[in-house]
Amino acid sequence: MTSLKNQNPRKKVQVSMVICDAEEKKHRSGVNAVQLDPHLDRLYSAGRDSIIRVHQHEKFIHGMEHHTDWVNDIVICCGGRNLISASSDTTVKVWNAYKGFCMSTLRTHKDYVKALAYAKDREHVASAGFDKAIYLWDINTLTALTASNNTVTTSSLTGCKESIYSLAMNPPGTVIISGSTERGLRIWDPRTCGKICKLKGHTETVKALVISRDGTQCISGSSDGSIKVWNIGQQRCIQTIIVHTDSVWALLVNESFTYLISGGRDKKVIMTDLKNIQNTILVCTEEAPILKMCFTADQQGVWVSTSSSTVRCWKLPTELHFKDDISFLSNQQISVIPGDAAIIKATVLNDKRHILTKDSAENVALYDVLRACRVQELGPVNYINEINTRNSEKLMYVPNWFNLDLKTGMLAIHLGQDEVDCFSAWVSAKEAGIKDHPEPDFKVNYGKLLLQALFEHWRGVQTDQENKVYFSVPRHIPLILRYISRKLIFI
């Protein structure tokens, strides 16, 4: 049986798994990004549960599961053939959008990758995040990468001094803009990687950006609640729009740059006439803060993703004379892609094998770590009472041997994390529920049992009779390997 020890003594390997269903058709947590392929009328949504999902007319097509943390942004490129994704696992990934498989992984960033920008005419994409770096990629080069030929060359734009939250690039790829915690906009020419200017005016982090096709104007949304329109050539703010009562996190503009759609923490989607910013109309009020938006194929509606797991499509007014348009009523929902509940609480029971959880729909469930599955649905019972009852039924002491987190809305189990010894939990075969063991009092190790189950089907790993696999985990359970001293390595 393999162990967690590594050839390099300075590096510690962490093994993780995510307890999930065989096919996760619904988002389990907030949806950070949405993109529409207008040619196939397919909607791509990127979730905090680490999964990118593809829908067509509300029907789930397939999921794209290869990231190990939040997916923060996505872009559809190459006429819909490929998709680029950015994640908090520090990677940028290139996908075959039609078939849903990951073609290559870019590990250039050193921290969370928060934003992408796409120059459609040149097939270039830029990525940026918390490492304060912006990288410019040639998509045609990225899609040609293979396992044996994966050397990536990229251009870098330097000068950012703080974490980057937003990024924009015009279709011809002549201007790129970043927004960050330094409360300003930095502008470059991506063709030369040279700086153009820095625009100041916001008082909080710039969370959203859009740019005109000719690169002469851009619009920024900030946590200070304001939206600003900038003339890039004149390097100044020409309009300030105050229509939200809280942070502005999402912006969308039509190609002719005549109207703006904005959303944010106040849960409102508002449409503004850029020719007369006094003309505004409420498109809808969502149930949660708004994170991202995209147009429908006919641009008569807008898909809205929020910090909840449900994605909705809302009708837009057909006229720009908003004050005169008394026929339009807000909250005209066209369609909805329902999400699923996220696990929001989890308690490891006394036996250090079972976990009791509570989700955002108030339902309680019991999970078995050794079998990596949900073993009982208890419904909306009292969570605290259930913990106390189950712990009082089984009075035993077992050391902590794993860590867990709920960042993705699912149970993630980590072995070898922090100072917790994954080989510390010894129990009798009887206590572990191994009925066919010849010696009921024989001591078994939970960490070893789980590793055996996780690596049971691993290529080249063999077990003898002494190391018999007594537990099996479903084949679909994601297995993740990390070097603690480095960034993610996963399978």
Non-local CB neighbours of 61 within 8 Å, separated by 6+ positions:
42, 54, 55, 100
Calpha distance 408→49 (Å, rounded)? 4
Dihedral of the CA atoms 56, 57, 60, 62 (nearest 10)?
0
- In residues, how long is the chain? 491
Calpha distance 109→402 (Å, rounded)? 28
Same domain, 197 and 59: yes
Contact assessment for residue 2 and residue 459, using Cβ atoms and an 8 Å cutoff: no
Residue 386 lies in a domain: yes
Residue 192 lies in a domain: yes
Q: In which residue are the tokens 């960034």 written?
A: 487
Strand 51-56 to 42-47 pairing: antiparallel
Task: State which of 337, 366, 392 marks the end of a domain.
Answer: 337
Burial of 263 (0-12, 13-18, 19+ CB in 10 A): buried
**b/e 45-67 (16+ beta carbons within 10 angstroms → b):** bbbbbbbbbbbeeeeeeebbbbb
Residue 466 lies in a domain: yes
- pTM of full prediction above 0.95: no
DSSP code per residue over 31-42:
EEEEEEETTTTE
Task: State which of 283, 306, 337 marks the end of a domain.
Answer: 337
Same domain, 325 and 424: no
Residue 123 lies in a domain: yes
Same domain, 89 and 179: yes
HSE-up of residue 458 (Cα within 13 Å, Cβ side) = 20
pLDDT tens for each residue of the chain, 491 residues long: 334 444 444 567 889 999 999 999 999 999 999 999 999 999 999 999 999 999 998 899 999 999 999 999 999 999 999 999 999 999 999 999 999 999 999 999 999 999 999 999 999 999 999 999 999 999 988 888 765 566 666 778 877 889 999 999 999 999 999 999 999 899 999 988 888 999 999 999 999 999 999 999 999 999 999 999 999 999 999 999 999 999 999 999 999 999 999 999 999 999 999 999 999 999 999 999 999 999 999 999 999 999 999 999 999 987 655 544 444 667 899 999 999 999 999 999 999 999 999 999 999 999 999 999 999 999 999 999 999 999 998 777 899 999 999 999 999 999 988 889 999 999 999 888 888 778 888 999 999 999 999 988 775 555 554 556 788 999 999 888 877 654 443 33
> How many domains, in total, are found in the chain?
2
| Predicted pLDDT of residue 470 | 84
| Predicted pLDDT of residue 4 | 45
Residue 383 lies in a domain: yes
CA neighbor of 339 nearest in space, from 275, 270, 287: 287
| Predicted pLDDT of residue 46 | 97
Same domain, 105 and 147: yes
Non-local CB neighbours of 255 within 8 Å, separated by 6+ positions:
213
| Predicted pLDDT of residue 127 | 96
Same domain, 387 and 313: no
| Predicted pLDDT of residue 296 | 95
Calpha distance 145→4 (Å, rounded)? 31
Domain that holds residue 375: 343-490
Contact assessment for residue 401 and residue 446, using Cβ atoms and an 8 Å cutoff: yes
Look up residue 351 and give its DSSP letter: T
What backbone phi and psi angles, to 5 degrees, belong to 101?
A: -110, 150
Task: State which of 281, 310, 337 marks the end of a domain.
Answer: 337
Calpha distance 152→273 (Å, rounded)? 43
What backbone phi and psi angles, to 5 degrees, belong to 325?
A: -90, 80
Residue 15 lies in a domain: no
| Predicted pLDDT of residue 7 | 44
Helices (H) and strands (E) in the chain, counts: 3, 39
Look up residue 316 and give its DSSP letter: P
Contact assessment for residue 67 and residue 91, using Cβ atoms and an 8 Å cutoff: yes
Same domain, 350 and 435: yes
